[in-house]
Structure 1
Amino acid sequence: MDLFDDLPEPTQTAGEASVQNTCPSPLEDRGAKRKREAPDDDEVVEGQKLEEKKMINLSESDHSVSPGVPILKGYVAARRGEREEMQDAHILLSDMKTCLSTLPTTVSRLAYFAVFDGHGGARASRFAAEHLHHTLALKFPKETENLDKLVKKCLLDTFRQTDEDFLKKASSQKPAWKDGSTATCMLVVDDMVYVANLGDSRAVLCRMEQEMQGGDRKCVTLALSKEHNPTIYEERMRIQRAGGTVRDGRVLGVLEVSRSIGDGQYKRIGVISTPDLRRCQLTPNDRFIILGCDGLFKVFSAEEAVKYVLNVLQNGSVERKEGQTEEEGHYEAACQRLANEAVRRGCADNVTVILVSVSF
């Protein structure tokens, strides 16, 4: 029995960043995963707040990887929307090897990208962004035999440990913190992508496939994550078996997601921190991966988001930052414009987009 929810087998057709050599321990800053009590009109921030919230972004490509291992570059855009506070957090770490004391000799490259969507405050999302990759580095396998099984155990243990560590800190405060956060984390080991997620943030892959009769290649959008909300049968049953209820599509009528980091008051009634895991091998047909919070996917379907990015990449000229190649300028513009368009379409929530280019 396989350990992962694998994607289909690949067909055989042929950010801005400040580069650092040390593993970061930092980050930053969502909207209402919990239903807020009787919000007044004054609570809505006047106008669309489009300023970017910068976070750790070590996304330059790693040119030390072995031949045949894809080059990844990450770009990020974050918008506050109409929220009073930016509660999203994110991290781009294209060379995670610096976080590990030892790495299996057969592993050439380790990369990590993640978006966290906080609710009830920004503390859970910030905590996860600052600590989860360090815990992952400590638990990463030291050997490559049965690597898939070991990576799965590592990811499951890392999410459990991060949740326990945050809940311990939250319960020690006066008053206790009640923050929670979704998590969508992408770990890339050479050419294999592992995605672990909780809640309703998503990861999607753009793969170009040949048309049947020798036509142009078409874009196929592949989901790399699975949403968790209490309206899903399995999630609702687990919550009800634990003594909880689901009202208006929310746990106890309040919490919109059924799995999260934090949310200590809901853990005893079936809200868990066990992620879903998916695995996918990257191929030369793959163009990019989008990681985004639900602020993006409230106004874009996964297919629409991928097509929007493709349109920017393929059409028109863009302004480039100093030192950027034309390709990098297009990816940067695609990431920023996607976030802007989500706000323009009326998303009042925080919007965070990570766009990871894939090239061989």
Structure 2
Amino acid sequence: MGQLLSHPLTEKTIIYNDYEHLSQQASRRRSSEHSSSANKHRAQKGAQFFNCVGSMQGYRLTQEDAHLVANCDSMMELNFYNPFTDREEMLSMSVFGVFDGHGGDECSKYVSSENDAYQGIRKWIRLSFETHEYGPVKGLESKSFKRRFRTIEGLVSQVLKDAFLLQDRELYCHYANSSCGSTGILAVIINEKKLYVANTGDSRCVLSTKGRGVKTLSYDHKPQHIGELVRINDDGGTVSLGRVGGVLALSRAFGDFQFKTSVSYTNSAHGPAAAQRYVAPAQESQVTVEPDVICHQISYDRDEFLVLACDGIWDLYSNRNLVQFIKYHLMLGQKLDDIVTKLLDHGINSADSNTGVGFDNMTIIIIALNKQGETLAHWYGKMKSRLEREKGLTI
């Protein structure tokens, strides 16, 4: 194992987003007496949600994971019609995502499109928010809506589902005859207040809270789960050895169009040929891209950090164990990049050829839920003091 650990496949990629350059720019803007109003707004905003991304190919032949960080200077800003207030609003979104590809890296890289803010899933999130046709159950009876919701949280959750479905339709144009696919876990923080986690597949998101709390913000989509199994069987599929068609170990994903043959992605669904076969909604195919969405109201007094990771990480840790690992090293005064490095090192050291654990690609993002204007050094100090008190080391 010592020789394997020095192999290039086990080299780690660590991206530590401490946004130090943005903080310095904000300070310079604040000291300028002639800043424009836009610059003043950005200076007040400052850096937000410090984070660290870590990835490692491991002993797989290729690296099929991808990730997305759209935050601070790459934050999404878009117009949104809120039917509950009947007015246009400007939304600021920090978006973090992990995409675990299989059968190739084409789908995961396409969906993440990290270097292009107007491609991939961000393109469809923007379109879905800016052009939705949803309204409230009560009020605005004179207007015609495609669908009505009781809460704004329900409406936003449906908008995110629409974005996933639209992204999958675009993928069909490029990879209809390919066997590639990808899971997707997205954490979307809107106006620094509401967190929405959209998940399709078996990547996962958890939230660490004050007092040793761990909140699960996603649930794995596995073929043997009863709801997934019923959908697969209803669409003519089978599950054997815990896999769809004996092949795919998860039941929701981008791509994997060989399991979506009953869905029509072209206008031919409305022609004469449509009457010759059953056409299923995309939500009802054997493998669907439709995500589950969980909403959480952020409390900066209690909530500490988010963790997004692919199943290569969760094969090694339970939700609670991973959070405890991170908290333990924060209490020791270590930084996020050092902690992510230790996590990946422990993963590769745990590789077991009998179980296959530790041999998968590994990608993880740790996101600090720091208050507006709070520096990274202050967040580290706050976490260290809090954890020491929880352990009874200080009063």
- Decide: shared fold, TM above 0.5: yes
Aligned to 2:196: 194
Question: Does the 8 A contact of 1:228 with 1:259 survive in 2?
Answer: yes
| Cα distance in structure 2, aligned partners of 1:168 and 1:112 | 25
Query: Does residue 309 of structure 1 match 2:326?
Result: yes
Residue of 360, 375, 382 corresponding to 1:349: 360
Which stretches in structure 2 are left out of the alignment for 5+ residues? Answer: 27-40, 82-87, 114-119, 137-150, 262-284, 352-357, 372-395
Letter in 1 for 2:345: N
Counterpart CA distance in 2 for 1:259 and 1:337 is: 31
Q: Residues of 2 paired with 1:114 and 1:92: CA distance?
A: 7
Q: CA separation in 2, counterparts of 1:54 and 1:311?
A: 20
Alignment pair present for 1:128 and 2:111: yes
Query: TM-score, normalized by length of structure 2?
Result: 0.67
**314, 328, 333: which is aligned to 2:338?**
333
CA distance in 1, matches of 2:76, 2:306: 23
Question: How does 1:266-345 map onto structure 2 within 5 Å?
Answer: 266-268=259-261, 270-283=286-299, 284-316=301-333, 318=334, 330-345=335-350
| 2:227 counterpart residue number | 234
- Is the Cα–Cα contact under 8 Å of residues 193 and 282 in structure 1 kept in the other structure? yes
Aligned partners of 2:218 and 2:48: how far apart in 1? Answer: 22
Q: Of the candidates 249, 253, 265, which is equivalent to residue 242 of structure 2?
A: 249
Structure 1 partner of 2:174:
169
Shift of 1:66: 11
Per-residue deviation, residues 44-85 of structure 1 (Å, max 9, x unmatched): 999573223578x87738986899999411210001110111
Q: CA contact under 8 A between 2:231 and 2:286: conserved in structure 1? A: yes
What is the letter of the counterpart of residue 196 of structure 1? A
| Partner secondary structure for residue 271 of structure 1 | coil
Which of residues 76, 89, 92 in structure 1 aligns to 2:66?
89
Give the whole-Å Cα distance in 1 for the aligned partners of 2:298 and 2:179: 38
Q: What's the TM-score once normalised by structure 1's chain length?
A: 0.73
- The answer for the alignment partner of 1:39 in structure 2 is none
* Residues 310-341 of structure 1: per-residue CA shift (max 9 Å, x gap): 0111115x4xxxxxxxxxxx122222222222
Contact 1:90-1:115 at 8 Å conserved across structures: yes
User: Does 2:129 align with 1:140?
Assistant: yes
**SS of residue paired to 1:72:** coil
2:254 and 2:345 map into 1 onto residues whose CA distance is 28
In structure 2, C-alpha distance between the alignment counterparts of 1:264 and 1:53, rounded to whole Å: 31
Indicate the SS of the match to 1:133. helix
Contact preservation (8 Å) 1:112, 1:186:
yes
Task: Measure, in 2, the Cα distance between the counterparts of 1:260 and 1:352.
Answer: 17
The answer to whether the 8 A contact 1:46-1:82 is kept is: no
Amino acid at match of 1:139: S
Counterpart of 2:37? none
Preserved contact between residue 229 and residue 239 of structure 2 (Cα < 8 Å): yes
Distance 1:69 1:59 in 2: 12
1:47/1:58 Cα in 2 relative to 1: closer, same or farther (>3 Å)? closer
- 2:54 is aligned, of 59, 77, 92, to 77
Contact 1:225 1:278 in 2 (8 A): yes
Distance 1:262 1:168 in 2: 10
Give the distance between the partners of 2:42 and 2:297, measured in 1 at CA.
16
2:10 aligned with 1:50 = yes
Residues 289 and 70 of structure 1: CA distance in aligned 2, closer, same or farther (over 3 Å): farther
Does 2:184 align with 1:207?
no
Task: Describe the shift of the 1:198–1:98 C-alpha distance in structure 2 as closer, same or farther (beyond 3 A).
Answer: closer
1:306 to 1:69, Cα distance in 2 relative to 1, 3 A = farther
Q: CA, structure 1 residues 125+333, in 2 after alignment: closer, same or farther (shift >3 Å)?
A: same
- SS of aligned partner of 2:212: strand
SS at match of 1:359: coil
Tell me which residue corresponds to 2:389: none
Give the counterpart of 2:218 among 222, 225, 228: 225
Percent sequence identity over aligned pairs = 27
Q: CA RMSD in A?
A: 3.1
- Return closer, same or farther for 1:308/1:264 CA change in 2, 3 Å cut-off: same
Larger displacement relative to structure 2 (158-167 or 264-273): 264-273
Q: Which residue of 2 aligns with 1:32?
A: none
Q: Residues 54 and 309 (structure 1 numbering): CA distance in 2 closer, same or farther, change over 3 Å?
A: closer
Q: Relative to 1, partners in 2 of residues 1:333 and 1:263: Cα closer, same or farther, differing over 3 Å?
A: same
Give the distance between the partners of 1:224 and 1:341, measured in 2 at CA.
Answer: 24
